Amino acid sequence: MFEYFYHEILRRTIVSFGSLFNNITIKHTNDSDQTVSSLKVPLAYGPTQKFLARLEQVADLNKPVQMSLPRMSFEFNGLTYDTSRKVTTSQTFLSSSASDSTKARKAYMPVPYNMSFELSIMTKLNDDMLQIIEQIIPYFQPAYTMTVDLVDAIGEKRDIPVVLEGISMQDDYEGDFSTRRALIYTLRFTAKTYLFGPITDPSRDIIKKVSVSYIGGEQSPLSKREVTYSTEPVATKSYANNIVTSLSEDITNIDTVITVDDASSISKGGVIVIGEENFRVALKSGNKLTVERAYQDTKSSNHVKGSDIKLITNADALLIEFGDDFGFSGSF
C-alpha cells in the first residue's frame, strides 16, 4: 500500500511562511524627526524560549552573553486535517509531467491540512514593537495568500491562504520590575495547505491488453484449431470530467435521436455521458445524434434540456481505478 515519496510540501510551506517576514525594518529618529538609524529585524526559525534563554547565557550555560534586540522568530507547531475543504477521496486527476508535457501523470486529489505557526517578536522598546506590528497586520484581513510550488513533478502551484488567528503580548522582566528585559508579541497563524500522495505513470496502473490462446489437442476427434481472444480495458466514466456540450431539448428514456448545442467534438462511434447514462453515437448529422441507449450496462433515463454532455476519451482509459467495474473491448 505505502511507497516512498517526498514532495517537500511541508518544508516549502514553512520556508514560504518565513519569507513573508524577512524584510521588516525599523527606524529611529531624533527630536528633529530625522532618521538616525535604520535596522533590518533579524528573523530565525526556532521557539521563543530558545531566544529568551540566549538573552542570559550561551550554549555552554556558563558564560553570560548579551543578545541584541529587536529580533523575530517563527515556529511550525501543529498540523490538523481541514474537513471544510474535503474532496472525494477516490477522485483522481490527470496532469502532464513538468519535464515532458507529452507524458501524463496521475495523482489522487490533494488532502487539505492546516499548518499552525507562531511568529514571536521581541524588542526592548515599545516603539520598535509598534513599527514591526504595523508592517505586518494590515496585510491580513484576516488572510494573506501566498503562492507555493507544491509538487515539482507535475508543476503544481497552489495559492495558500495564511490566516492571522490572534495576537498576544507580554512583558518579560529580569531582576526587579523596573528593568524590562523584553517586550514579546506572539502572532498565531494558520496556513491552509494541501498534501499530495505519490505521482504515478497511469500507463503502468492497469493491464493494457490480455490475450488468451486455445489450441485443440491432437487427441481431439475434431480438427486442430487455434483461437485467440484479446481484450483491452475501456473506460465507462468520464474521469477527466470532459464536458463538451449540452442537450438542446428534453429526451425520454426511449428516444434514440438527440439534439445537442454543439456536436463538433463528438464523432461517430464515440461514447458520451449524460447524467448516469452512457450513449454510443451510431450516426451524426449536424447537431443531431443517433445513439445507442443504456450503453455499457448503464440505465436508460429521461434527461432535461441543458444537461451537461461529457465525452469519454482515451485519456479516461488511463485513469481507470483499481477495482472499478470497467468494460472490455474484445475481438476474435
Whether 252 is covered by a domain: the verdict is yes
User: How many domains does the structure of the chain reveal?
Assistant: 2
Q: Are residues 127 and 271 in the same domain?
A: no
Pairing between β-strand 25-29 and β-strand 35-40 as defined by DSSP bridges = antiparallel
Q: Give the domain CATH number at 158.
A: 3.30.2000.40
pLDDT band at 190 (very low <50, low <70, confident <90, very high): very high
Question: pLDDT (tens digit, 9 = 90+) per residue, 243-296?
Answer: 899 999 999 999 999 999 999 889 998 999 999 999 999 999 999 999 999 998
Q: State how far the Cα of 308 lies from the Cα of 248, in Å rounded to an integer.
A: 10
* 171 shares a domain with 83: yes
Is this structure's pTM higher than 0.85? no
Q: What is the mean pLDDT of residues 168-191?
A: 76
Report the C-alpha gap between 277 and 15 in whole angstroms: 48
Q: Which tens digit of pLDDT belongs to each residue from 74-102?
A: 999 999 999 888 876 556 555 555 555 55
Do 173 and 251 fall within a single domain? no
Which of 171, 63, 184 is closest to 119 using CA atoms? 184
HSE (side-chain half, CA atoms, 13 Å) at 130: 4
Beta 104-108 vs 257-259: how paired, if at all?
Answer: unpaired
Domain that holds residue 189: 9-195
Q: Report whether the peptide linkage leading into residue 70 is cis, meaning its omega lies within 30 degrees of zero.
A: yes
pLDDT of residue 13: 94
